[in-house]
Amino acid sequence: MKTIFTRKDAPLPRQDSAPSQLASLTRESSRSSIEQPEFALELRDVHRTFGKTHALRGINLTVDSGQKLALLGPNGAGKTTLVRAICGRLRIDQGEIKLFGQPVTNPSTLTRLGVVPQDLAIYSDLTTKENLRAFGRLHGLSGRTLTERVEWALEWIGLEDRKDHLTKSFSGGMKRRVNIACGVLHRPQVLVLDEPTVGVDPQSRHRIFEMLDELSAHGTTIILTTHHLDEAQSRCDRIVIIDDGQVIADGGIAELIEHTIGCERQVRLRIEGFLTASIPNLEWDPTLELFVAEINEPAEELPQLLHRIRVCGGSVIDLEMHQPNLHDVFIYLTGRELRE
């Protein structure tokens, strides 16, 4: 397991880094030392053990209002324990968790929090509208406010025409949308979602994230766990990776890539024929069973590479340009696939 910078433990950037990059890397620490802002969520030195198992080992994390944060980690990394602690459903052994400056265990504070569990929490023998009204009442809504929020939710999830249908007849994606709506009827300022798109088709995944984007546009802070790394990379503006109960990486995707695997693109080539000489920067990868080369400027360097291969007697029969992504960062840091 490799550890890279977090927002409170950032190394100095490379000497050729722009001043704006330095400002980005030190944004939180410098800001907090000057004006002491009230974070939407704040975790300080959070520990939790189960017998001899240390599930959380001093988690430190702050989340600004309006951020969309993806919480990632291999199975057994501590994600579920952390989410349960954030939602006030698990007592921690040490440290503190605050929501807008107040302990998350405070009942009045929890009204500002919305929770959408991975397991569907809706009632299959109730209609869409009945589910929404039931959960609205659980959140303390009543009268005209409840009616207006239910009407809003039906439109928001695109199921106005199915409001009187039993949810047991719905597809997985439709049930997920109802499940999410039940968690936001009270207009929480922080929304925690555990695997909100698990088991749904690509179209439903897209619709769910459109819904979350709408909430984010109105200032809702969103924290989600997901096994879909492409979702985390494209839909979230901040990524936190935990392993062995600790935060090992924290930042935007560009920051994480630059400070781990680097921004160079990898060219993967299948070459026919015998190369009569070695070619700089071209190596055989036994895992991929392909030749690979790292390049910074594809338009300039790729033609040169192909020319050298031809001169040395090789013929390129297939070529793929690989852009560094979150999956590469994740494997680099944890050494494991997400689902292991």
SS (H, E, C) 182-195: HHHCCCCCEEEEEC
Q: What tokens were used for 217?
A: 């546009």
Predicted pLDDT at 20 = 40
Mean pLDDT of 81-100: 94
Task: Examine the pLDDT at 101 and tell me if it is beyond 80.
Answer: yes
- Cβ atoms within 10 Å, residue 78: 25
User: Cα(102)–Cα(317) distance, rounded to whole angstroms?
Assistant: 61
DSSP for residue 275: -
pLDDT surpassing 90 at residue 23: no
Lowest mean pLDDT among 26-40, 159-173, 178-192: 26-40
Q: Which residues contact 34 (CB under 8 A, 6 or more apart)?
A: none
Tell me if 229 sits within 8 A of 332, measured CB to CB. Answer: no
pLDDT of residue 41: 96
With bands split at pLDDT 50, 70 and 90, how would you rate the model's confidence at 17?
very low
- Written as one letter, the residue type at 70 is A
Instruction: Return d(Cα 84, Cα 192) in angstroms, integer.
Output: 10
pLDDT mean over 96-119:
91
Task: Give the Cα separation of 125 and 122 in Å (integer).
Answer: 9
Q: What is the rounded average pLDDT of the residues 258-266?
A: 91
pLDDT in the model for residue 108: 84
- Grouping H, G, I as helix, E, B as strand and the rest as coil, residue 154 is helix
pLDDT at 18: 39
- Reported confidence tier of residue 337, pLDDT bands at 50, 70, 90: low
Question: What confidence tier does 269 reach under pLDDT thresholds 50, 70, 90?
Answer: very high
- Asked whether the predicted pLDDT for residue 3 surpasses 70, the reply is no
Question: Residue 22: helix, strand or coil by DSSP?
Answer: helix
Average pLDDT, the chain: 88
Q: Would the pLDDT of 191 be above 60?
A: yes
Strand, coil or helix: 73: coil
Tell me the Ramachandran region of residue 47: left when phi exceeds 0, alpha when psi lies from -120 to 50, beta otherwise. beta
Share of the chain above pLDDT 70, in %: 88
| Chain-centroid distance, C-alpha 258 | 18
Own/partner contacts of 235-238, CB < 8 Å, gap of 24 or more, are: 235/68, 235/70, 235/209, 236/68, 236/69, 236/70, 237/67, 237/68, 237/69, 238/63, 238/67, 238/68, 238/69, 238/70
CA-wise closest residue to 71 among 320, 211, 250, 203: 250
- Mean of pLDDT values over 77-84: 94
Confidence of residue 283 (pLDDT cuts 50, 70, 90): very high
Lowest mean pLDDT among 29-38, 59-68, 307-316: 29-38
Q: How confident is the model at residue 201 (pLDDT cuts 50, 70, 90)?
A: confident
Pairing of strands 113-116, 282-285: unpaired
Q: How many CA atoms lie within 13 A of 246 on its CB side?
A: 12
pLDDT tens for 302-328 read 999 999 999 999 999 999 999 999 999
Query: At residue 25, does pLDDT exceed 80?
Result: no
Q: pTM here? A: 0.81
Q: Which fold has domain 19-258?
A: Rossmann fold (3.40.50)
pLDDT the model gives residue 300 = 92
**Domain(s) of CATH 3.40.50.300: residues in the chain:** 19-258
CA distance 208 to 196: 8
